[in-house]
Amino acid sequence: MPDGERIFVNAIRAYCRARGIVCEVSQQGWLIVMARGGERRFAFGYDVGLNNAMAHRIANDKSATAEVLAFAGIDCVPHTLFLSPKLGEHVARADSREAMLGLLRQYPDGIVVKPNEGTSGRSVCRVRTEAELDQAASEIFSAHLSLAISPYVEIAEEVRVILLDGAPLAVYRKERISDWRHNLDFGARPVLLADGEARDACVAVAIKATDAIRIRFASIDVVRVGQSWRVLEVNSGVMMEALGRLHPGLVYQAYAAALDKVFE
């Protein structure tokens, strides 16, 4: 296998090789074509193709996810959508900045400003002043067409649940090294959660979220604020690179289970 190849790609290669499935990797590993007989399946990014288009779009949109979960009565961290002025006055609301300032005034502990789509914690900013808000919005809108604002909350724990058709394949806590973020790309360490009350609670909340969005294969970030667990985000692309460096067998099994569903 090529040096530096993603664990996601390695897992798909291994799965196909063991089952006699032709596997072609292109676009620097971001597009994978799997062919068996007359069947052809695709993986793109970290998506194996199990989720329908609507579930995929909602899960990749932080504000839409929060709206759907709130509508279903599921406790979640709210995310408010703001569109880039680049989209024009007929799309982006004219009073966006005042509305952003309204949220800043509403939450005395500050707000978190982030791209509305995307993962890995890039361009995620904690904002406490008007100047910080303007800087964060400018940075995000320079590269994205939308952003989301959520209230800053003191997160005691963050747990990622990987679910396939309601069954947990991996459940692990993000143990942060420093900073206020739990992002794995910023040094947080994945620690498998042992069986018990906390694990059961996280899985239960994650299942409710996937049922609401009607998504089959996803990673759900669940956070503990005070004594309650709530959903932070849902991701349609299931990325387990950090976990795979510590527990490759578990990650390979998880992707294999999803691919079994793809080819069944």
> DSSP class of residue 29?
G
Domains present along the chain, CATH in parentheses? 7-49 (no CATH), 53-75+154-260 (3.30.470.20), 80-151 (3.30.1490.20)
Query: φ and ψ at 96, to 5 degrees?
Result: -60, -45
Please tell me the pTM assigned to this model.
Answer: 0.90
Q: Which residues pair with 259 in a beta bridge?
A: none
Report the C-alpha gap between 101 and 99 in whole angstroms: 5
Closest listed residue to residue 243, CA positions, set 193, 190, 194, 168: 190
Report the C-alpha gap between 46 and 152 in whole angstroms: 28
Across 116-256, the runs of DSSP E, i.e. the strands, are 125-127, 146-151, 157-164, 167-175, 189-192, 217-225, 228-235
Q: Which residue in this structure is represented by tokens 């800087």?
A: 135
**Tokens, residue 235:** 């991701």
Closest listed residue to residue 161, CA positions, set 238, 227, 214: 238
pLDDT at 171: 98
> DSSP class of residue 234?
E
Q: Running along the chain, 264 residues long, what does each successive block of 10 average in pLDDT?
A: 78 97 92 93 95 96 97 97 85 87 96 87 90 96 94 95 98 82 67 96 98 98 95 96 96 98 94
pLDDT at 120: 61
**Tokens, residue 102:** 């309204």
pLDDT, one tens digit per residue, over 190-241 is 999 999 999 999 999 999 999 999 999 999 999 999 999 999 999 999 999 9
